[in-house]
Amino acid sequence: GQNIDQPTEMTATEGAIVQINCTYQTSGFNGLFWYQQHAGEAPTFLSYNVLDGLEEKGRFSSFLSRSKGYSYLLLKELQMKDSASYLCAVRVAGGYNKLIFGAGTRLAVHP
């Protein structure tokens, strides 16, 4: 079966660093996406990891370990506008653009 786990909710303080973890068990793997979704809006692309290692993009970094079925999204210098849901999604093998999504992590950033 397909299973993607991420924490349901997290809270953090403005200016701090937060790490959102994602573990997956899927029938094959062809990459992992992180999306940000504000309430009532569409998912916005944050990162895409195909190979193991860390990808850094400004305040956001994403890490992937394929052997462990594990990824994390690291958000630095948190801002109030980072309060949103963060979705982990796996592109399954042979699935082209078929993504399996986790339930999402709701992040609340407090002053």
Partner 1 sequence: KAGVTQTPRYLIKTRGQQVTLSCSPISGHRSVSWYQQTPGQGLQFLFEYFSETQRNKGNFPGRFSGRQFSNSRSEMNVSTLELGDSALYLCASSLNGQPSSGNTIYFGEGSWLTVV
Q: Closer CB to partner 1, residue 12 or residue 87? A: 87
Site string for partner 1, 82-101 (x = CB under 8 A): -----x-x-x---xxxxxxx
Q: 38 with 84: CB under 8 angstroms?
A: yes
- 25-84 residues in contact with partner 1 (CB under 8 A) are 30-31, 33, 35, 41-45, 48, 50-51
Half-sphere exposure of 100 (CA within 13 A, CB side): 22
Site size toward partner 1 (CB under 8 A) is 25
Tokens of 26: 């899927």
The Cα 95–Cα 26 span in angstroms is: 11
The residues of the shown chain that bind partner 1, judged by CB under 8 A, are 30-31, 33, 35, 41-45, 48, 50-51, 87, 89, 91, 95-104
